[in-house]
Amino acid sequence: MGLGFRQINLFDTKSKQEALSIIKSHVDYLRTKEWVICRGWDESQWPEKEYITREELDSIADDIPILLYRIDGHMAVVNTKALSIVNVPSNTPGLDEKHGFLRENALEIAKKVIVKTREQLESGLELALEHALKYGITSIHENSTINEFSVFQEFFNLSPSKLTVRSYFLFWYTYLSHIRSLGLKTRFGNDMLRFGAIKVMVDGSVGARTAAFFEPYVDEPNNKGMQLVTEDELTDIIKTAHNSDLQLAIHAIGDKAIDVVLEAFKEVLKHSPQKYLRHRIEHYEFPTLEQIKLTRELELIPSMQPNFVANWGKPGGLYERRLGKERARRNNPFRDIINLGLPLAFGSDCMPMDPFYGIWAAVEHPILEQRLTIKEAFKAYTLNSAYASFEETIKGSIEPGKIADIVILSADVNSISPKEIRNLRPRFVIFNGRVVYQK
């Protein structure tokens, strides 16, 4: 959380040319030889519907490394200078040298080269905390590295009154052996900083064409996406974590990726008793009805992001262009999930962070039969998300004895139309019993 606020913002750009103009103006203004890093571009919202390319970035600067993260974080575009610095091996999956595209494996190699300083992490966290309060956010589930986690710890130790977000940390599975050697278990910590789950990526995203499907992308017929771990590798990770009393949060978007996750859990849970670790499938965008039923049988939690629907689920939108009309209609089946009795948890994935945008998207789902009520959408963002982190007894609803984190909104949600939900904003944010934001 936070580093993205230190980067050049391309989230609201309306065209490729606008994005390129913003990048050029920053390059000209900064006059630096250091990395120029931008975040948030989404070609699906531009009339061109085209990725920015290496050649276009070279025309802005060929002596300064430039990297642009796509909105989903699963893809970046770099110029020639940046490509020479990151030095991704030519046989790496996800590398497209000609166009300067780095996806998944290739992007992960590049990230290791770009040093995140302590100062960047600290100032980024401060900016993110300020931004979160504007939307009434007082709890997050955060993908984390050891360095990022230590910044939260130091902030809490030195400035506890300034830390106005409670954090449940998801650590990448590459840390699994270290976590086990320390004897850490899910839920260790306090009500401010808590060790949560082991995060695993099984596929990528629809926008980057790396989400793994059984059938090809209609706009790239030779591509079915990328499966980032094998079935055997995933089964071993799940077995190790499960038997170590560690919750799993596994990223799976396409139907093939979801299938791989479900089959791996089925194999592990067949031999190990269910410990009620509340294992989660993150995103879970394109499950079939049979997969939803199996998810319920395995007692897994769908952890989903309804803002994706608003961004990409409309007729003629990204989902439809990538996958065709029939598959696109299967996106984010919230109503099916709730009707089958699963504890649906919502989050924002910082694209945008605004939970009211996500609640509006769930209530106004383009597929009418998948729409939720306002009450159901709010519950998914609050009590159900608290359940996904074993915290439903201390937060997620206003009850005697629970933590006094309360948001007073600009309107009564019971008296406004669904279309007005996205305009809701906090009037007051109360954190741990004290007012920390008001407007």
Tell me the C-alpha distance between 222 and 183, whole Å.
45
For CATH 3.20.20.140, the residue range(s) in the chain are 119-401
Contacts 24+ apart (CB under 8 A), 324-328: 324/218, 327/213, 327/215, 327/286
Identify the pLDDT of residue 88.
98
Identify the pLDDT of residue 318.
98
Q: How many CB atoms lie within 10 A of CB 282?
A: 28
Positions of E strands within 244-383: 247-252, 280-283, 301-304, 345-346
Residue 261 has pLDDT above 70, yes or no: yes
What percent of the chain lies above the pLDDT cut of 70? 99
Phi/psi for 383 (5° steps) reads -65, -40
Identify the pLDDT of residue 6.
67
Identify the pLDDT of residue 350.
72
Q: Tens digits of per-residue pLDDT, 34-62?
A: 899 999 999 999 999 999 999 999 999 99
Contacts 24+ apart (CB under 8 A), 368-376: 369/335, 370/332, 370/333, 370/334, 370/335, 370/336, 371/334, 371/335, 372/334, 372/335, 372/338, 374/413, 374/414, 374/418, 374/421, 376/338
Residue 310 has pLDDT above 80, yes or no: yes
Identify the pLDDT of residue 120.
87
Tell me the C-alpha distance between 348 and 222, whole Å.
31
For CATH 3.10.310.70, the residue range(s) in the chain are 3-113
Let me know: does 63 contact 55? Beta carbons within 8 Å. no
Residue 185 has pLDDT above 90, yes or no: yes
The one-letter amino acid code at 15 reads S
Of 134, 115, 165, 120, the C-alpha closest to 6 is 120
Of 89, 363, 337, 76, the C-alpha closest to 204 is 76
Confidence of residue 5 (pLDDT cuts 50, 70, 90): low
Residues 293-322, mean pLDDT to the nearest whole number: 98
Confidence of residue 377 (pLDDT cuts 50, 70, 90): very high
The mean pLDDT value of the chain amounts to 96
Identify the pLDDT of residue 3.
59
Torsion of CA 417, 420, 422, 424, to 10 degrees: -100
Identify the pLDDT of residue 2.
54
Token output for 203: 């596929």
Confidence of residue 31 (pLDDT cuts 50, 70, 90): confident
Q: Tens digits of per-residue pLDDT, 268-302?
A: 999 998 789 999 999 999 999 999 999 999 999 99
DSSP structural state of residue 255 = H
Token output for 8: 């050049």
Of 239, 221, 223, the C-alpha closest to 231 is 239
Work out the burial of residue 83: count CB atoms within 10 Å of its CB; fewer than 13 is exposed, 13-18 middle, 19 or more buried.
Answer: buried
Q: Which CATH number is 119-401 given?
A: 3.20.20.140
Residues 322-347, mean pLDDT to the nearest whole number: 98
Confidence of residue 334 (pLDDT cuts 50, 70, 90): very high
Q: Tens digits of per-residue pLDDT, 219-256?
A: 999 999 999 999 999 999 999 999 999 999 999 999 99
Q: How many CB atoms lie within 10 A of CB 367?
A: 17
Tell me the C-alpha distance between 322 and 328, whole Å.
8
Identify the pLDDT of residue 7.
87
For 385, how many CA atoms within 13 A lie in the half-sphere containing its CB? 26
Identify the pLDDT of residue 57.
98
Residue 1 has pLDDT above 80, yes or no: no
Residue 86 has pLDDT above 70, yes or no: yes
Confidence of residue 4 (pLDDT cuts 50, 70, 90): low
Identify the pLDDT of residue 117.
84
Q: Which CATH number is 3-113 given?
A: 3.10.310.70
